[in-house]
Amino acid sequence: MKFYNKQHKFYCGIDLHTKKMYICILDAEGNTLLHRNMATKREVFLKVIAPYKENIVVAVECMFTWYWIADLCIENDIPFVLGHALYMKAIHGGKAKNDKIDSHKIAVLLRGGMIPVSYVYPAKMRATRDLLRRRNHLMRKRAELYAHIQNTRHQYNLDEPLGRIAKPQNRDGIAERFQEPSVQKNIEVDLAMIEAYDQILIPLEREIIKTAKQHDPVAYALLKTIPGVGRILGLIILYEIEDIKRFPRVQDFVSYSRLVKSAKESNGKRYGSSGKKIGNAHLKWAFSEAAVLFLKGNDAGKKYLQKLTNKHGKGKALSILAHKLGRATYYILKNKTAFDQKKFLGQ
């Protein structure tokens, strides 16, 4: 957990919503200079903080509405702090809660150097990252359609398998294999939706790859040297990290990627783990997928996994492999070197 502890003359805490924002401004002594609700508009915000602009810092909680105000503060050379939502909930939780109380608590935490900070993702790559996340959402919806077709086949116990329906050439005549007209229609609807997703996703992937090569072609090429990391996983890792320099240590990176468990200890006793929702879920998914794909056609990798399985069990062995891939990715991007499998496997 990192805290913002720089000193300023004025501290501005905002409880930000789509239509309204409650603003609280404190001075260095903790006196309330302004505390009121107003419209969520750029010109209103700039007008309110104009008398204090000489030495003010602005903080908001990390919710989905923070993009515009972060960019506005950066454009006007105003220090901006993005508060970590889960950590802030743990720190300033109380009996009563409303927008007025929340904005004051944010300002107080900011003034006291106790506001836990999240990373303010730069605007240059932010839109493409969000587009990539949307692409992954659509891919999962398409995968659900594939699963529904296969499950329907098992429901009616068809003798012949449907094959790899992810390939368009293998989809012909699938609906006709079922006898019931309503079941046939059900499958036809799934296939029509899959075809619609294909028409959207294929050109979308080309556009994202083209953009990635403009942002950081070297890092993208280095990531693809890892066995199992192809075009899509490489893109996800690249855009979720943005800049490896923001992680001082490899431990910080694997923790952010949810590849390690946070221990709960007190008085020398361990009470399990916590913080499962803290970190980047997209990186966790990417490295978990990479661990499985790393083994495809990789005899040395399979042999290494078998050693881990004998010692820890299959599920934990894959988690260890994903963690090891995360550490390797950190050093690949930090040192700008290609993946070395012999070094990775300790051969």
Q: What percent of the chain has pLDDT over 90?
A: 74
Q: What is the pLDDT of residue 100?
A: 92
Burial of 331 from C-beta contacts in 10 A (0-12 / 13-18 / 19+): middle
Distance CA 343, CA 190 (A): 46
pLDDT, tens digit, for every residue of 211-263?
888 888 899 999 999 999 999 999 999 999 999 999 999 999 999 999 988 76
Distance CA 223, CA 333 (A): 8
pTM above 0.75, yes or no: yes
pLDDT, tens digit, for every residue of 97-156?
888 999 999 999 999 999 999 999 999 999 999 999 999 999 999 999 999 999 999 999
> CA geometry: angle at 184 spanning 179 and 189, to 5°?
170
Distance CA 60, CA 9 (A): 18
